[in-house]
Structures are given as C-alpha cells and as structure tokens.
Structure 1
Amino acid sequence: MNQLTTNQVIRFSKATLMLFISIFGLLVMYSNVTDYATNYENISNILSMETTDDDEKYTYRAITSQILHHRIYWLIITLEVIYTLFFMIGTCYLYKNMSSSAEEFHEAKKPAIIGLLIALLLYYVGFQVIGVEWFNMDQSQAWSYKDWTRHIVDFILPLLIYIAIKVEH
C-alpha cells in the first residue's frame, strides 16, 4: 500500500481549494444571470450614489446613465465568467498533474493564478477600491457590497499566495 506523502496532500489541497473557488464562481455567475434584475438594481444604486451620505458633495462622481449601469454590470458578469473559466481550467490542470514532476505541477498553476488575479481585480479593485472609495458604497445602508467583497478577497488573496508558492517537490 502506498504511503500518502505530505507533498501529495499539498498538491491535492491546492487542486481542491481551486475546486472550491470554482464552485463559488459558478454560483455567482448563475446568480447574476438568473437574477439579473435584483443584482442590476444593486449595481445601479451603487453607481448612482443615491443612498450615500453627503450626496451633494460627491454627486460629480455618480454615474446616472442606465445604459452605463447595464454595461458596467455586463463587464462584471464578463469578468466573473472569465475568472471562473480560468478557475475550472486551473482546477483540471492541477488534478491532472497531481503525479507530475514538481516543475510540471508548478506550470499547471498558471490558469488558476490568472483566474485568481482577475477575481482580485474585480473584487478588490472594482468593489473595494472603486466601489468604496469612489462611489462611497460603504456609506449606503441598503446597497453596500463592502463586507461581502471583503470576505471574498480575504479568501482569494491567501489562496493566490498558497497556489503560487512552490512548496511541493
């Protein structure tokens, strides 16, 4: 009987964590496509800044065009589709290369790392930086994604570091 090595467990954990984040991506995509109206309303309210404090002081930042709201929302959905595809491809590559050499396994991480970077772009730069800092999303009691995206970033960033680091042999 083969002994399970720490290296095998590390490789398996990296592939499995990518599977977990792939499931997250699929569920977010599904939600945004099947419940477009509700999620669009959230994005529209954030962009128009109608429920933030000091409305008059920052109104020049607001985007009030519904056409732009839809386009920005579709950009968000497109990024979700792209990062989820990279997550799923990365997951497959990692499982497929579970018994490969250390170099081959490390190279198999590329799609996963790209997907994680795209997700960070969306959730950290898009929501945490632009949403909170530019559109004052955190000041809205009803339309803030701040806490939700922080939890996502708090998972994705350490996952990116864990996946990218080359500890397996």
Structure 2
Amino acid sequence: MDNANLALRILKIFVLFAAALFGFFVFLGNILDYDSNYQFVRHVLSMDTTFEGNNLMWRAIESSDMHTFAYWLLIIAECVFSILGFIGVCKMVKALKAPAKQFNRAKAFGYYTFIIGVTIWFIGFIVIGSEWFAMWQSSIWNGKQTAMDIVGVWCGFFVLFALRDGELED
C-alpha cells in the first residue's frame, strides 16, 4: 500500500473518531448537566416560546412524562452514536494495513454511526424540532442552526469516509 492510501485510511479513522468523540461529549453533557438540556427539550416540545398566536400549537406536547421520554431517547441515541463510532475506529485501526476489501468492510460501524448522527441532528433537531415543533420561531430555545452546522459536518465526513481505497480498482 502506498503512502497516499495509508494517509487516506488514517484520515477516515480520524473523522470517525472525531464524530464519536463529539457524540460522547454531547452524551456526557446531557448526563452531567441534565436539567439544562432537559429544559431545552421541554421548551421545544411544549412550543411555549414560539410566536404568539401560532396556528401550529395543536402539535405541542405538554406532558412532562413525554418530555422525559423524548430526552432519554435522545440521550440513548447519542450514546449509541458514540459507541458505534468508537467500535468502528477500533475495527478500522485493526484493518489499517489490510487489503482494501477488508478495510472497507471494517467501515460498517462508521456507516451506522453516520446514519444515527443524521437521524439525531437532521431528523430529530431540524425536521422534528425545528419544523414540526416550530423551534425556529423561538429566540431562546432554537437549536436549528447548530443542528444544521453539525449535519453539514457529518455530510462532509461521510463523503470522505465513503471513498473507496484506490487499490480496489487495480
């Protein structure tokens, strides 16, 4: 294997590690600062800081049990995201100098990691939070732009991650 292929493999491992580390810190923050982050979920689902007279208020969820359920679902998803990412990093490191076919198989956990990441930050925060619960209307509890930025990073990481090794074409 030439140095360029080795460097590209190391870069793929690095972006997956960076994503997993980010997910771990988000997960850890939600556990260590539970109430602050719970309040975010509660306000978004309650839609209590959206525009006054909003015709979408029938979508609001005011049940604290549902807020807790949604928050724990998010925490679990972030935990799974980071665990799968770290497992993927370990598998890829083990296959670092293996033939391309074996290294590409080792990337499976990374693909799952990015699927979960897009599910959390695009479907969860942008589609459901921002559009269904009108989070974009809140000047206080609006995480849409942050989620957009994260999804942009995941897309860039994923495109790089999905590149096949050149030796497959030889």
Same fold (TM over 0.5): yes
* Inter-CA distance 59–118: structure 2 relative to 1 (3 Å threshold): same
Partners in 2 of 1:4 and 1:167 — Cα distance? 11
Q: 1:117 aligns with which of 115, 118, 125?
A: 115
Amino acid at match of 1:106: N
Aligned to 1:97: 95
Aligned to 1:74: 72
Aligned to 1:107: 105
Partners in 2 of 1:36 and 1:8 — Cα distance? 41
Partners in 2 of 1:55 and 1:149 — Cα distance? 26
Partners in 2 of 1:39 and 1:55 — Cα distance? 26
Partners in 2 of 1:155 and 1:47 — Cα distance? 26
Instruction: Say which SS state the counterpart of residue 57 (structure 1) adopts.
Output: coil
Aligned to 1:138: 136
Normalising to structure 1: TM-score of the pair?
A: 0.95
Deviation at 1:4, TM superposition (A): 6.1
* Inter-CA distance 65–99: structure 2 relative to 1 (3 Å threshold): same
Partners in 2 of 1:133 and 1:58 — Cα distance? 10
How many residues align structurally? 167
Q: 1:153 aligns with which of 141, 151, 154?
A: 151
Q: 2:18 aligns with which of 17, 20, 23?
A: 20
Q: 2:41 aligns with which of 23, 34, 43?
A: 43
Q: Is the 8 A contact 2:100 2:165 kept in 1?
A: no
Deviation at 1:22, TM superposition (A): 1.4
Instruction: Say which SS state the counterpart of residue 42 (structure 2) adopts.
Output: helix
Q: Is the 8 A contact 2:92 2:107 kept in 1?
A: yes
Normalising to structure 2: TM-score of the pair?
A: 0.94
Partners in 1 of 2:120 and 2:20 — Cα distance? 15
Amino acid at match of 2:161: I
Q: Is the 8 A contact 1:29 1:80 kept in 2?
A: yes
Deviation at 1:167, TM superposition (A): 3.4
Amino acid at match of 2:147: T
* Inter-CA distance 56–7: structure 2 relative to 1 (3 Å threshold): closer
Partners in 2 of 1:72 and 1:9 — Cα distance? 40
Partners in 2 of 1:81 and 1:55 — Cα distance? 37
Deviation at 1:134, TM superposition (A): 0.5
Partners in 2 of 1:64 and 1:97 — Cα distance? 49
Partners in 1 of 2:82 and 2:8 — Cα distance? 22
Partners in 2 of 1:113 and 1:18 — Cα distance? 9
Amino acid at match of 2:114: L
Question: What stretches of structure 1 of length at least 5 have no aligned partner?
Answer: none
Question: What stretches of structure 2 of length at least 5 have no aligned partner?
Answer: none
Deviation at 1:56, TM superposition (A): 4.2
Partners in 1 of 2:164 and 2:2 — Cα distance? 19
Q: Which runs of 4+ in 1 moved over 2 A?
A: none
